[in-house]
Structure 1
C-alpha cells in the first residue's frame, strides 16, 4: 500500500492518458477461422422462460439455446485522462470505448452492446495551496499543504467496465488483472465439472450429479443423456431437466463453453498473456451492479455478471500475434424450481478473436 501518491501539478493535464493493459485492446477484433474449425467460432448458451409459463404459477420450465456465432469487437482509446476530483485525491482514468456486434453464422443479428472500460490506477495527491484556499474560501479551516499527508486513497480495483445491452440491462463490472507465461490454464476431465463455469447451475440440479459423481466432459456424454424415455419415466428429475443441454450437438461446449477456448489453444504456441477478471458483485467489498428495465426485471432479471478476458501473445511462423479470448457469464433469475427456490440460469458467451487486418 503506497504511503503517498504523486503530487498533482498543472502539467498533469497535458500528459497522455494511461490506459494500462487496456491499451493493447485498441483496434477491431474478429473471428479468424479460415479453416472453419469448430473451435474458431464464438458460442453462447442461453436459458429462457418457456412459452406459456409465468413466474407466479409455473415451475421453472425453460427453453435452451446454444449456437455458434461470429463477432466484431472494436475498442477505441479516448484521448486524454478523464479527471475525477476528490479533494486531496485525484484520479485520471484512461477510457476505452467498445462496440460489440454478434451474428450467427448465417449473418443474423444476435447481440449488440456498447460501453466503456476505464483504467483506474492513475492517482495524484492534490493538497490545498494559497490559490485554491482563496478561490474556494477555504480559510480558516484549510492552510497551504492541507491534505498532503492523506488520507491516501488506494483503489480496490484496477479496471471497470460499463455496458448497455439492448435487451434492457446495464452493467458495471469491477476487477483486476494478472499476467502469466505460456498458455492460460483450463481444466480437463472431471475437474472441468465446475458449477461456476457450467451452463447448468447448482440451482438447476447439476444434472443429478454430486461432489463424488461429476461428469467427465472430455468423454462421451453418459448413456442417460440420449435416453428418449427419460422424460416419461422421470418427468421432474434433475437429469430430465437438463438432458437437452448435455444432448446438444455442440456438447461438451453446450455444457461448459470455455472448454472451446481451451481447445482453440491446443495447438498454439502462446508466449504469455494478460488476464482481466471482473464481476458485478463482490462479497465484503465495493462492487458494481446490474440495472434492468421493468419487463426484464419481472420476467428474466439479470442478477449478476462475471467476465474473464485474456490478451494472449501467440507465436506463429516466427511472428508474435495478439489474440483475445473471453468468457462472460450472466445469471438470469426467473420462475422457481420444483422445491420453490429461486433458479439461476447461466447465459454464457465465449469467443477467440484476432485483430482485423
Structure 2
C-alpha cells in the first residue's frame, strides 16, 4: 500500500487565522448546537473560519446521465461518470450586512461571497465553476432594537452555475463538537427504479474502483481522517453545517435541464475541522464536504406516468485545506 504523504493535508504556511443512505442531514440534525455562543455568534464564528482560500485534490464526482439516444421519459439506459478532481474554493467577506426591512422588524444579513473552480485531477481540464453567497440570517430586531426569535433556518447559501441552475439552500445553526466528525454513509444509487428492471441494470455502480467507493463515497472522507490519524494528525474541533433546498429553499433550472435531467433537490454537509499535527505542533483548518443533487430522468420501470421518473443522486466529495 502506498505510504500516506502527510504534505497532502498540510497547509502551505502558518496556522489558521481565525442513519443514512440518501439524506446525510437527518441524524446530524438530531444533535444540539453549543450553548456557549449566541446564535448569531455561532454562525459568525463558522463564517470567520471559512474565510480565505482553500485547495483540495481529493475530490470525486459521481453522476449518472442519460445515455446517448435516450429520451426524457424512456425506460432507457444511463451512463455513470466517475471522475477525480482538484478544486479551489475562496470565501470573501461581502461587507456591511444587508438590511431587510419588514416594518415592525428588520433583518440584518451578513454574507460571505464564494467562488468555486473544479478541474479534472489528471488532465487539468476545467469541469465546473460556481459562485454565490453564504448568509447569516440570525439577526432580526424590532423597532426598539430588541432581538427577535431565531428563524427556523438561520443560515442560507445561494449559488449559480453555467449549466443553467441556481440554488437556495437553508440550514439550522452550525453544530460545534470536540474531536473528529461522525461522517455517515450515503448511497449514490437511485432509491427507486421501479419494477421489473432489467437484470444488472445498476451494475455500473458495483464495478470495483481502488480509489473511490463508488456506491458510498463518504467512506473516502472517513479514510482521509483515518490516514491522518495514523500519521499523527488530530482533529481538535468540528463545526458542521447541513444545508438543504428542501428547508424552505429551491432549485431553479433552465427549460432544457428541466426537460432532460431535472435537478430537483440539493443537500450539502460541510465539516469545518481544526487539525493539529502532533509531530510538529502546527494547527491548520481543514474542510470536508459531501453534496448530493437529485436528478430526475428516465421513466421508472413498470410505470407509464411521464412524471414518475427515477431519481439519480449526483454526489461530489472533497477534503480541502486552507492555504
TM-score, L = length of structure 2: 0.78
Deviation at 1:45, TM superposition (A): 0.3
2:263 aligns with one of 279, 302, 321: 302
Structure possessing the higher relative contact order (Cα contacts under 8 Å, 6 or more residues apart): 2
Pick aligned residue for 1:236 from 188, 198, 202: 198
Residues 125 and 300 (structure 1 numbering): CA distance in 2 closer, same or farther, change over 3 Å? same
Are 1:20 and 1:119, in contact at CA under 8 Å, matched by a contact in 2? no
Q: CA deviation at 1:201?
A: 2.1
How far is 1:161 from its partner?
Answer: 0.2
Partner of 2:129: 112
Task: Output the CA distance in 2 between the equivalents of 1:252 and 1:314.
Answer: 24
1:126 matched residue in structure 2: 143
The answer to whether the aligner puts 1:166 opposite 2:162 as a matched pair is yes
1:274 is aligned to 2:236:
no
> Is the CA contact 2:72–2:261 (under 8 Å) kept in the aligned structure 1?
no
Is residue 2:316 matched to residue 1:355?
no
Counterpart for residue 50 of structure 2: 25
Alpha-carbon distance in structure 2 between the residues aligned to 1:253 and 1:110? 21
The answer to whether the 8 A contact 2:197-2:301 is kept is no
Structure 1 residue matching 2:222: 3-state secondary structure:
helix
The structure in which a higher percent of residues are helix is 1
Rounded to whole Å, the distance in 2 between the matches of 1:121 and 1:250 is 44
Matched, 1:260 2:220: yes
Matched residue, 1:314: 275
> CA 1:159–1:28 in structure 2 vs 1: closer, same or farther (change >3 Å)?
same
Partner of 2:191: 202
Once the two structures are superposed, residues 195-220 of structure 1 have per-residue CA deviations (whole angstroms, 9 ceiling, x without a partner) of xx211021147xx9xxxxxxxxxxxx
CA contact (8 A) 1:200 1:345 kept: yes
Q: Which residue of 2 aligns with 1:156?
A: 152
Q: In structure 1, what is the equivalent of residue 176 of structure 2?
A: 179
The root-mean-square deviation of aligned C-alpha atoms, in Å, is: 2.1
Inter-partner Cα distance in structure 2 for 1:235 and 1:294: 29
C-alpha contact (below 8 Å) 1:204/1:345 kept by paired residues: no
Larger CA Rg, structure 1 vs 2 = 1
Equivalent pair of 1:60/1:334 in contact (CA under 8 Å): no
Q: How many residues align structurally?
A: 268
Task: Look up the SS of the partner of 1:203 in the other structure.
Answer: coil
Moved beyond 6 Å, runs of 4+:
none
Residue deviations 1:56-91, cap 9 Å, x none? 3x2041110011100000000111111111112111
The Cα of 1:249 is off from its aligned counterpart by 2.0
1:235–1:294 CA distance, 2 compared to 1 (3 A): closer
1:178–1:124 distance in 2 versus 1, CA, 3 Å:
same
Deviations 1:212-260 (A, max 9, x none): xxxxxxxxxxxxxxxxxxxxxx9802xx111111104256521111111
Contact 1:60 1:337 (8 Å CA) reproduced: no
Structure 2: stretches of 5+ with no match in the other structure: 1-42
| 1:110 Cα deviation from its structure 2 partner | 1.0
Q: Does 2:128 align with 1:90? A: no
Q: TM-score, normalised by structure 1?
A: 0.71
Q: Which structure features the higher share of strand residues?
A: 2
Tell me what 1:78 maps to. Answer: 94
